[in-house]
Amino acid sequence: MSEYILTLLVFVPIAGALLLLLVNKEKGGLIKSFAFVIALINFILSLYLYFNFVPENGFQFEVNQSWVQSLGINYHLGIDGISLFLVLLTTFLSSLAILSSWSAIQEKVKGYMVTMLFLEAGMIGVFVSLDLFLFYVFWEGMLIPMYFLIGIWGGPRKIYATIKFILFTMLGSIFMLVAILVLYFMNYNYTGEYSFDLLKILQLPIPFGAQFWLFLAFALAFAIKVPMFPFHTWLPDAHVEAPTAGSVLLAGVLLKMGTYGFLRFCLPLFPNAFMNFVPLFSILAIIGIIYGALVSTMQKDIKSLVAFSSVSHLGFVMLGLFALNMQGISGGILQMINHGISTGALFLIVGMIYERRHTRLIEEYGGIARVVPVFATFLIIVTLSSIGLPGTNGFVGEFLILLGAFKSKTVYAVLGAVGIILAAVYMLWMIQRVLFQEIKKEENKNLLDLNLREKITLIPIVLLIFWIGIYPQSFLSKIEPAVKNMLEYVNYKSEQMSSCEKKFDEICEAKDEPAGYVKFELRRCTEESVLNLR
Amino acid sequence: MIEYVWLIPLLPLIGFVINGILGRRLGKTLVSLIGCGTIGVSFLISVKILFELLSLPAEHRIIERVVFPWIYSGLFKVNVSFLLDPLSCVMILVVSGVGFFIHVYSIGYMGEDKGFARFFSFMNLFVFFMLTLVLSNNFLLLYLGWEGVGLCSYLLIGFWYEKKSASDAAKKAFIVNRIGDFGFALGIMLIFWTFGTLNYSDVFLQAPSILTLGGGLATAITLLLFAGAVGKSAQIPLYVWLPDAMEGPTPVSALIHAATMVTAGVYMVARCHVLFQLAPFTMGLVAVIGAVTALYTASIGMVQNDIKRVLAYSTISQLGYMFLGCGVGAFASGIFHLMTHAFFKALLFLGAGCVMHALSGELNMQKMGELKNKLPVTFWTMFAAVLAISGIPLFSGFFSKDEILWKAFSQGNLILWIIGLVTAGMTAFYMFRLFFLTFFGKSRVDESIKSHIHESPKIMIVPLMVLAVLSVIGGYIGVPKSLGGGNNFESFLSPVFGEKGEIALHPASTEYLLMALSVVVALLGIFFAYRFYIKSPDLPKSLAQRFSFPYKLLLNKYYVDELYFKIVVNPLLKFATFLWQFFDVKVIDGIANGLANTVNWFAGIGRKVQTGYVRNYALGMVFGVLLILAYFILR
């Protein structure tokens, strides 16, 4: 089972999607139920990972088959403590997203569900790939369903939004593709073997200069995805136009691919460059935190408010990752999950009220807590999680991140913590204008409260919010060993590389600036004598 | 029972969950039974634990219990674990005891409200967080309780959320508190990275060796912690939320905004006294902020007409006293005043609630008067509380307040002592003003209400009586040695604060003199109140006219709210709008769209070449051929 489980997780949704193609498109109910069952099966399958995961074991549930032998492309899957919960988050949110589309999607139901299932497969693929080529395939492939999701089932400006989304993402991906190819050929030069395998490329000694450029190429792709300030403008547009389920997965999962990428690729592949970029990225993260929060405050559309708040929250995640210590990175990983849960829930909730009133403008509401108390309760709970109230999941993540940032540089934590004040400002103001005060609009007086399906969608989220808030150990204990390994590995590798670089410089100086090819050989010798990366 | 200390917070939590989820289906009787019952049992357990603690030798009265691991990450390890010592024992008794009676009172007070179950579930949740706050054995769990009570305060201030003023006040309370908590959270982080732990016992044990007396680190940690206290306990400059918090139902004001939550800051400072004593600068600041706040808000309280607002400013002022006590190193006295204040201020609020209940919700004291005979129980119980807070001898407030003043004096802080003394006089004045305006003089009640003024039902009155008894006798557990008492309260707390021998700098005669002086000042305040509001009720008006500027300044609370709005809120909103409308839309999006448009423009030019006419392409080819030929010929 362990060998097949990841493959199953990727291919069950694809198989489901293919089967769906055979169903008559008139049978909407059947199509929805079938898609939901597939997503649910996939979620239950993914629980197998949780229960059989051994924190100390590094990569597990691995499968490594040759795919295109001549090019050294492998079908290499595996997860560790960093990706485990992202996979679970994906299967969890996909199920809820499909459930939430039940009444929201009335047109082209079949196409929609097929797209959703393909999207799920693509997202899981990104998190489980350990082969750079395979990773790239999933990374780009997953854009296609998202493109259709926004472009077909989106709002009035869907075409603008979806093209913007695609172009932004592609812009970054192109550089990443080039960087992947450079790594591929560097690996060939070094070992004489063609391979895209991440675990092999990790052992490659990459000179500082190359690290710098390769880091930037990867980082651009990931930073756009996160999105980090100033690459965030595709996000509000995409969110506002996307259908509810699209927003849920976009915020809940897609953005995490960026932060995940930093952690999985940028950090271990280019540790020295990563460390050099700590100040820049920490500052960008902090700008994102404060900027996102401030811009959120003034939004008139609830969805774009939540979208900008994501910029702020993801800023926290980045701040944690770039703190480069246990608390910062663990907190960052946990916060990826937390943001997926809380922001996913916020989008679900906004979607529910949108279905009733067909508007997302804050000013159209007010006082609806009286008519829809259950809805109000859920919204308040999720808000509390989003503003990081202790006892909810948001607190654990944010506190660990700030604790880590505090260690790395006190001023980062001080500035980051400003975001926590601002979060209360924009969220509570929104809550006040939507739920509280008197009902002014006639249309709101007869709103229906949540139905059973909607409650079922939200209850698991609320349970998770408190579970992670009160007993985060069931998550942190699985994340921690992976982070510890990563940090040890990164520190070791960066030190090795530094000493190698130093020695190489000394030799070059002694030889009075040798010519190119001599230099190449020299470097090779230095690496062999100094490095022990395996 | 000590083993089961975790039951104390757990029971109200269970009450919250049951009432919160099933409340609307349970019916009012069951809801109130669950709401009050869970807290009642918590109170009984607390009493039992007090006696068990007393039966132990003093040095064994500090007990820690780990319940389960909470957050572990690398070196960072924090448990959900409780600390039972004399200090937390006093706090759980006050919280669950006063909390219980306020809950009982609420059955009557909130009886007609649509949100009855919601009210009780929030109140239970509050008690849960408050008990967690005081029982925690580490800073992070303290922070959980700290933010949790803030949440409940938010939910309960905005309980009548349909009123804009209520939902505004709730939001303001939460955000202002978050500003203080910003410092508090950073303080906790600094403590962790300094000591490698967040457990009180470990931190306090290592503090003297790691921190130097008066060193920057000690000062930084304590200043950050104190920022949190300033927010939660409504001190200058973050006090602005508390007066507005009166938008909540009156039992909420009594429980959260008088007796318990707002005293959390005092509790926290007292709890961290080891750290604060290493930072003389912070101690000085605590004392000064406490004293100035006490004086400043007392001055506002003297002219307000809203009965609950007077009490709110009075609460801020009394909290200032407690900080003054802590700041001069008299932590036990601060906690002593915290306790007696919980009794009499809760009583005052509940009494005010009875008055409002009788007058169909009237808050304006100018529309009260002559209620003495119509609300006899409220009148007599409130009288006890007014005497207690004014510092009349033999009532609880006298002992605790005098203790603080005496400590301030004996520490040589003459100015702080004078401020405290003046504030005491002002306190007596505004409390008796409130009392006279409400119960004496001619009735100014609206005609429509006059006919059905009635005393509140028993369920509301009995809690008043209990609290009145406590307001009278509560001070006797801390009678100072000079008055023949043993100061049992201070010696009970000594395992926490350490034995402090009576400072023998001043002879007992000085202490008697000071006591007499503060009694005289209090009597003076009462005399003025009597003069103004009973003897010649027209005098205040003519005074207000004659001194219209200072009067208006006080009436408008020194315009601080307006000032904050002008210098903080508005600029922030403007800046945010600028960031969004200009920077995000014009600059960032402008660049992105501009790039796209540029590409589009070039593509538009390029497209013109592709006309689809063969003759155009042929022309192009001819030109090409000519160019190539020209190149070869002219080469």
Residue A10 has pLDDT above 60, yes or no: yes
Q: How far apart (Å, rounded) are the C-alpha atoms in residues A497 and A206?
A: 8
- Using a CB-CB distance cutoff of 8 angstroms, which residues of chain B are in contact with residue A391? 144, 147-148
**Alpha-carbon gap: B276 to the closest alpha carbon of chain A (Å):** 22
Kindly determine whether residue B162 and residue A168, on different chains, have CB atoms separated by under 8 Å: no
Boundary (domain end) residue, out of A443, A471, A499 = A471
Convert B443-470 to b/e letters by CB count within 10 Å (16 or more is b).
Answer: eebeeeeeeebebbeeebbebbbbbbeb
* pLDDT, mean over chain A: 92
What's the pLDDT tens digit per position in B358-389? 998 889 998 898 888 889 999 999 999 999 99
Kindly determine whether residue A167 and residue B596, on different chains, have CB atoms separated by under 8 Å: yes
- Using a CB-CB distance cutoff of 8 angstroms, which residues of chain B are in contact with residue A439? 162
- Using a CB-CB distance cutoff of 8 angstroms, which residues of chain B are in contact with residue A370? 162
Q: How far apart (Å, rounded) are the C-alpha atoms in residues B595 and A408?
A: 37
Kindly determine whether residue B72 and residue A164, on different chains, have CB atoms separated by under 8 Å: no
Q: Is B592 on the interface with A (CB under 8 A)?
A: yes
DSSP at B562: H
A378 located within any domain = yes
Residues A412 and A299 in one domain: yes
| pLDDT number for residue A66 | 92
Q: How far apart (Å, rounded) are the C-alpha atoms in residues A516 and A519?
A: 5
Nearest to B72 among A395, A429, A473 (CB): A473
With a CB-CB cutoff of 8 Å, which residues 302-341 of chain B face chain A? none
- Using a CB-CB distance cutoff of 8 angstroms, which residues of chain A are in contact with residue B592? 164, 168, 233-234
The one-letter code for the residue type at A476 is L
Kindly determine whether residue A400 and residue B178, on different chains, have CB atoms separated by under 8 Å: no
Q: What DSSP string runs through A400-431?
A: HHHHHHHHH-HHHHHHHHHHHHHHHHHHHHHH
| pLDDT number for residue B616 | 86
**Alpha-carbon gap: A40 to the closest alpha carbon of chain B (Å):** 27
From residue B326, alpha-carbon distances to A387, B131, B331 in Å are: 32, 22, 5
What is the C-alpha radius of gyration for chain B, rounded to an integer number of angstroms?
A: 31
CA angle at residue B246 from B244 to B249, to 5 degrees?
145
The percent of residues in chain B predicted with pLDDT above 90, rounded, is 68
The residue in chain B having the minimum alpha-carbon distance to the alpha carbon of residue A232 is: B588
Picking from A87, A79, A81, the residue whose alpha carbon sits closest to that of residue A124 is A87
Kindly determine whether residue B144 and residue A391, on different chains, have CB atoms separated by under 8 Å: yes
| pLDDT number for residue B499 | 62
The percent of residues in chain A predicted with pLDDT above 90, rounded, is 81
Residue B535 has pLDDT above 90, yes or no: no
**Alpha-carbon gap: A259 to the closest alpha carbon of chain B (Å):** 20
- Using a CB-CB distance cutoff of 8 angstroms, which residues of chain A are in contact with residue B151? 384, 389
Q: How far apart (Å, rounded) are the C-alpha atoms in residues B245 and B243?
A: 5
Query: What is the number of other CB atoms lying within 10 angstroms of the CB of residue B244?
Result: 21
A254 located within any domain = no
Q: Is A476 on the interface with B (CB under 8 A)?
A: yes
- Contact status, residue B266 vs residue B323, Cβ threshold 8 Å: yes
Kindly determine whether residue B71 and residue A402, on different chains, have CB atoms separated by under 8 Å: no
Helix or strand run (H / E) with residue A68: strand A60-68
**Alpha-carbon gap: B125 to the closest alpha carbon of chain A (Å):** 12
- Using a CB-CB distance cutoff of 8 angstroms, which residues of chain A are in contact with residue B179? 421
- pLDDT (mean) for A166-187: 93
- Contact status, residue B103 vs residue B35, Cβ threshold 8 Å: yes
Kindly determine whether residue A297 and residue B573, on different chains, have CB atoms separated by under 8 Å: yes
Residues A352 and A460 in one domain: yes
**pLDDT, greater one: B535 or A46:** A46
A500 located within any domain = yes
Residues paired with B73 in a beta bridge? B76
N-term to C-term CA, chain B? 107
| pLDDT number for residue B204 | 94
Residues A365 and A443 in one domain: yes
Q: How far apart (Å, rounded) are the C-alpha atoms in residues B436 and B450?
A: 18
**Alpha-carbon gap: B342 to the closest alpha carbon of chain A (Å):** 26
Q: Is B171 on the interface with A (CB under 8 A)?
A: yes
Residues A403 and A508 in one domain: no
**Alpha-carbon gap: B369 to the closest alpha carbon of chain A (Å):** 33
What is the C-alpha radius of gyration for chain A, rounded to an integer number of angstroms?
A: 24
A78 located within any domain = no
Nearest to B161 among A294, A417, A436 (CB): A436
The residue in chain A having the minimum alpha-carbon distance to the alpha carbon of residue B572 is: A294
Q: Match 């945010």 to its residue by tokens.
A: B576
Residues A337 and A366 in one domain: yes
With a CB-CB cutoff of 8 Å, which residues 237-276 of chain A face chain B? none
A438 located within any domain = yes
| pLDDT number for residue B596 | 87
Q: Find which of B71, B144, B579, B586 to mutate to test the A interface (most A CBs within 10 Å of its CB).
A: B71
- pLDDT (mean) for A58-66: 92
Q: Is B357 left (phi over 0), alpha (psi -120 to 50) or beta?
A: alpha
Query: What is the number of other CB atoms lying within 10 angstroms of the CB of residue A380?
Result: 18
- pLDDT (mean) for A80-88: 95
Q: Find which of A301, A425, A439 to mutate to test the B interface (most B CBs within 10 Å of its CB).
A: A425
With a CB-CB cutoff of 8 Å, which residues 193-212 of chain A face chain B? none
Kindly determine whether residue B190 and residue A391, on different chains, have CB atoms separated by under 8 Å: no
Residues A462 and A502 in one domain: no
Nearest to A428 among B174, B584, B589 (CB): B174
Strand residue runs (E) in B372-454: none
Residues A369 and A495 in one domain: no
A110 located within any domain = no
The percent of residues in chain B predicted with pLDDT above 70, rounded, is 99
Residue B503 has pLDDT above 60, yes or no: no
Residues A466 and A353 in one domain: yes
- Contact status, residue B34 vs residue B21, Cβ threshold 8 Å: no
From residue A28, alpha-carbon distances to A16, A249, B392, B635 in Å are: 15, 22, 79, 74
B501 exposed, middle or buried (CB, 10 Å; 0-12, 13-18, 19+)?
exposed
Q: Is B192 on the interface with A (CB under 8 A)?
A: yes
- pLDDT (mean) for A250-277: 94
Please give the backbone phi and psi of residue B63, each rounded to the nearest 5 degrees, phi first: -125, 130
Helix or strand run (H / E) with residue A296: helix A278-297
Q: Is A425 on the interface with B (CB under 8 A)?
A: yes
Nearest to B576 among A298, A326, A439 (CB): A298
A265 located within any domain = no
Q: Is B555 on the interface with A (CB under 8 A)?
A: no
A vs B: CB pairs below 8 A: 132
From residue A525, alpha-carbon distances to A321, A509, A529, B42, B411 in Å are: 34, 15, 6, 74, 75
With a CB-CB cutoff of 8 Å, which residues 109-128 of chain B face chain A? none
Pair type for strands B63-73 and B76-84: antiparallel
Please give the backbone phi and psi of residue B503, each rounded to the nearest 5 degrees, phi first: -75, 120
Least confident of A95-99, A263-267, A452-456, B602-606: B602-606
Q: Is B77 on the interface with A (CB under 8 A)?
A: no
A321 located within any domain = yes
- Contact status, residue B190 vs residue A463, Cβ threshold 8 Å: no
Omega within 30 of 0 (cis) for the link into B57 = no
Q: How far apart (Å, rounded) are the C-alpha atoms in residues B510 and B515?
A: 9
The percent of residues in chain A predicted with pLDDT above 70, rounded, is 96
Query: What is the number of other CB atoms lying within 10 angstroms of the CB of residue B51?
Result: 9
The residue in chain A having the minimum alpha-carbon distance to the alpha carbon of residue B148 is: A390
SS3 B304: coil
ipTM of the complex: 0.93
SS3 B80: strand
Q: Is B161 on the interface with A (CB under 8 A)?
A: yes
Counted domains in chain A: 2
- pLDDT (mean) for B333-342: 93
**Which of B260-269, B541-550, B554-563 reaches the highest mean pLDDT?**
B260-269
- Using a CB-CB distance cutoff of 8 angstroms, which residues of chain B are in contact with residue A379? none
Q: How far apart (Å, rounded) are the C-alpha atoms in residues A404 and A399?
A: 8
Kindly determine whether residue B151 and residue A389, on different chains, have CB atoms separated by under 8 Å: yes
Strand residue runs (E) in B225-334: none
Q: How far apart (Å, rounded) are the C-alpha atoms in residues B456 and B454?
A: 6
Tokens of A479: 């994340």
Tokens of A257: 């691919």
Q: How many residues does chain A have?
A: 534
Q: Is B577 on the interface with A (CB under 8 A)?
A: yes
| pLDDT number for residue A514 | 64
B437 exposed, middle or buried (CB, 10 Å; 0-12, 13-18, 19+)?
buried
Least confident of A495-504, B240-249, B305-314: A495-504
When pLDDT is cut at 50, 70 and 90, the band that residue B505 belongs to is: low
Residues A297 and A337 in one domain: yes
- pLDDT (mean) for A489-503: 88
Convert B141-178 to b/e letters by CB count within 10 Å (16 or more is b).
Answer: bbbbbbbbbbbbbbbbbbbbbeeeebbbbbbbbbbbbb
The torsion defined by the Cα of A399, A257, A215 and A55, in degrees rounded to 10, comes to: 60
What's the pLDDT tens digit per position in B316-331? 999 999 999 999 988 9
With a CB-CB cutoff of 8 Å, which residues 74-113 of chain A face chain B? none
- Contact status, residue A397 vs residue A335, Cβ threshold 8 Å: yes
Boundary (domain end) residue, out of A438, A471, A504 = A471
Picking from B403, B384, B395, B261, the residue whose alpha carbon sits closest to that of residue B326 is B403
CA angle at residue A170 from A169 to A173, to 5 degrees?
90
Tokens of B544: 């207000």
Please give the backbone phi and psi of residue B161, each rounded to the nearest 5 degrees, phi first: -70, -10
A243 exposed, middle or buried (CB, 10 Å; 0-12, 13-18, 19+)?
buried
Residues A303 and A375 in one domain: yes
**pLDDT, greater one: A426 or B412:** A426
| pLDDT number for residue A103 | 87
Least confident of A225-234, A327-336, B167-176, B450-459: B450-459
**Alpha-carbon gap: B226 to the closest alpha carbon of chain A (Å):** 16
SS3 A270: coil
Picking from B238, B233, B297, the residue whose alpha carbon sits closest to that of residue B430 is B297
Residues A461 and A514 in one domain: no
Q: How far apart (Å, rounded) are the C-alpha atoms in residues A19 and B603?
A: 42
Nearest to B193 among A399, A406, A438 (CB): A406
Residues A396 and A524 in one domain: no
Q: What DSSP string runs through A249-262?
A: HIIIIIHHHHHHHI
Domain that holds residue A350: 277-471
When pLDDT is cut at 50, 70 and 90, the band that residue A28 belongs to is: confident
